[in-house]
Structure 1
Amino acid sequence: MLTVLEPEGLYPDTALEDALFAGRIRLLRGGGESGLAALPDALCAEAEGLFIFRNWLRAEDLPRFPKLRAVVRMGVGYDRLDRVALAERGVAVCNVPDYGTTEVADHAVALALALRRGIALHHDLQRGDSPAAWTQVETPLIQRLGEQNFGILGLGRIGTAVALRARAFGFDVAFYDPHLPNGVDRALGITRCRSLEALMERTDTLSLHAPLTRATTGLVDEAALRRLRPGAVVVNTARGPILDLDALERCLRDGHLAGAGLDVLPIEPPATGPIPPLLAAYRARESWLSGRLIVTPHSAFHTPAAYADIRLKSAETMHEILTSGVSANRIPLQAE
């Protein structure tokens, strides 16, 4: 019988997985989120398959898993995995790319709308008791959506779902994604930009949906942000390191950008590292940032239905890759 390890003890039981594995795969479980180093050696030594959710799987972890044949990342992003080291070991790597698409797309558009309609700004003002707060604020943040250009960086499943939602709200939508074949723009009724610079120069509201790779780390830097139209809004529900947070702070502080919505940060949770100046100002409720920044705790994917999808689709993917060696969710090394 094949043996699979779920290190974090994510769910109260294994009934769903046991039914799907049908006696061909035995599921072992760890006890928490303290990392792979806390797992007993005996568990690691038996694992032929490994589920990864919040943990990081690094090259130095692999000697503890001598039988490892497959890793399933329980999510879309795979930046928590050392795929080069796994490839050298001949370990198959899969993700779950088709869960949480609607949730993340809804969240990204909700952040954009909350900023562009001044909801966060006026909400913040009502916390005070001054009668003068009961008014409408004149700000570059608030614009008619139908006169705005909405730019999408990365047109995968989530980026496509965002494009459809943004169009429904009247935005003129464009995207940049060098990995997609021609024709996608016509099918969706949106505009394709052939470079990041071209996308930025026409964008009033930018939403990030690229995976985190060597090529996309730091991709949206200060030079890119300065190319956005004055008064632009930036939304990131992808991965924190794609966006230079210090550059974002400078562009917000000097007024080039009107606002930002962040569901992801370069270091999560932020308490585990140095607090970026932008987050420090946000926590201190500095007046210059009032209503211009919304931060959520990497929760864009979160619904009970999405959690159920992660569990089911991860188990299905693990069953496929271990029993047949084939899965549509397998990630080739060159995807980096």
Structure 2
Amino acid sequence: MTLTVLEPEGLYPDTSLEQRIMGPSVRILQGACKASLAELPDALCEQADALMTLRMAVPAEQIARFPKLRVILRMGVGYDRVDRAAAAARGIKVCNVPDYGTQEVAEFAVLMALALRRGLTLYHDTQRDPSPARWGVMPHPAVRRQEVQTFGILGMGRIGTAAALRAKAFGYRVAFFDPALPNGADRAIGVTRCRTLDELLAKSDVLSIHCPLTRNTRGLIGERELRLLPQDAVVINTARGPILDIEALERVMREGHVAAAGLDVLPVEPPAEPVPALLRAYRDREEWLNGRLIVTPHIAFHTPQAWDDIRLKSAETMRDVLVEGLNTNVIPPDSD
């Protein structure tokens, strides 16, 4: 029996690697969708036993268009774009690729913190001004020696652990909160476990978010939580935008409680009107944000090697689950 795998976004120039890994029992079809699965013709949907997507959401109404579907593979770590309840109701397995881009995202998070804490962004932002007053040392609440700070990690999975190791190498004390992590895992790398989120926040001079977006983490870091951070803390988010209340972040930054932030992710991507107040101030180059904000377009994962890993590991996962009947990287339907 031939199985059909559909990759609707046409991400790669051919399917030779996927074909080699999945084997002759699999037929691989590519689409050319630019925005959503709604662009796919019904005739293509009706053929697919499995679906591989990177950027596109897989909502319930689109799942309903795939009568033969057995596997949905999200070609990335996060799986919040897939309606897992709708998939579970049909017995469709949902998978992700949790082990790509680990080094890249961890490095990016720590680099954002370093750039803000050592004034790299401050001096970059201010040298557009030719005034002699801008040439030289400028005291700023974001600038601080790494060794006197605690780097707090929310979510100690693969990326959080990699970030912890890198932060330690730069001299930070490292603490984390992750109720899903078994006891003892922290001792292997010499970091401090916090029993509660509030405990982590109270000691985090840098808060770096590395948890997945679930029903329990959506809006997890709001104004109350941001005000629990020490004065002049730095907030880094390379996970998912909706975990952090960006409007609350703007308020506590404008008031001066949080010194700076690095955001690779936003609540809506790409940003749409009405644009969050913080992003609007950033785009308008408001002076109060000098040295205090880095915004990047969800690219922390990006290197050519990471793209190669996405392709390879996605094909291997699809082979395991669709062809060989394994549960490699299958997300339990009742997980958060």
Per the normalisation by structure 2, the TM-score is 0.98
Aligned to 1:188: 189
CA contact (8 A) 2:321 2:328 kept: no
CA apart distance, 1:229:
0.2
SS in 2 for 1:187: coil
* Deviation by residue 1:256-306 (Cα, 9 ceiling, x = unmatched): 000000000000000x34200000000000011111000000000001110
Residue 59 (1) aligns with residue 54 (2): no
Matched AA of 2:175: A
* Deviation by residue 1:55-86 (Cα, 9 ceiling, x = unmatched): 11111112210000001100000000000110
Tell me which stretches of 4 or more aligned residues in structure 1 moved more than 2 Å. Answer: none
CA apart distance, 1:34:
2.2
Aligned to 1:207: 208
Identify which range, 16-25 or 67-76, moves more after superposition: 16-25
CA apart distance, 1:184:
1.4
Which whole-Å CA distance do the structure 1 matches of 2:174 and 2:27 have between them?
47
* Deviation by residue 1:179-233 (Cα, 9 ceiling, x = unmatched): 0110012111000001100000011001000000000000000000000000000
CA apart distance, 1:325:
2.0
Which whole-Å CA distance do the structure 2 matches of 1:303 and 1:230 have between them?
35
Residues 1-336 of structure 1 mapped to structure 2, 5 A cutoff: 1-270=2-271, 272-336=272-336
Identify which range, 119-128 or 75-84, moves more after superposition: 119-128
Matched AA of 2:268: I
Which whole-Å CA distance do the structure 2 matches of 1:335 and 1:121 have between them?
42
CA apart distance, 1:32:
2.6
SS in 2 for 1:161: helix
* Deviation by residue 1:118-152 (Cα, 9 ceiling, x = unmatched): 10001111111111111111112111100001100
SS in 1 for 2:285: coil
Matched AA of 1:60: E
Matched AA of 2:298: H
Matched AA of 2:84: R
CA contact (8 A) 1:33 1:54 kept: no
Which whole-Å CA distance do the structure 2 matches of 1:309 and 1:327 have between them?
19
**Structure 2 unmatched runs, 5+:** none
Give RMSD over aligned pairs: 0.8
SS in 2 for 1:291: coil
SS in 2 for 1:141: coil
More helix by share: 1
SS in 1 for 2:77: coil
SS in 2 for 1:61: helix
Matched AA of 1:124: D
Which whole-Å CA distance do the structure 2 matches of 1:176 and 1:102 have between them?
20
Identify which range, 18-27 or 216-225, moves more after superposition: 18-27
Matched AA of 2:80: D
Matched AA of 2:289: L
SS in 1 for 2:58: coil
Give the percent of matched residue pairs that are identical in Structure 1 and Structure 2. Answer: 61
CA contact (8 A) 1:101 1:161 kept: yes
**Structure 1 unmatched runs, 5+:** none
Count of aligned positions: 335
SS in 1 for 2:227: helix
Which whole-Å CA distance do the structure 1 matches of 2:261 and 2:229 have between them?
13
Identify which range, 322-331 or 195-204, moves more after superposition: 322-331
CA apart distance, 1:19:
1.3
CA apart distance, 1:8:
0.5
CA contact (8 A) 1:95 1:331 kept: yes
Which whole-Å CA distance do the structure 2 matches of 1:205 and 1:86 have between them?
38
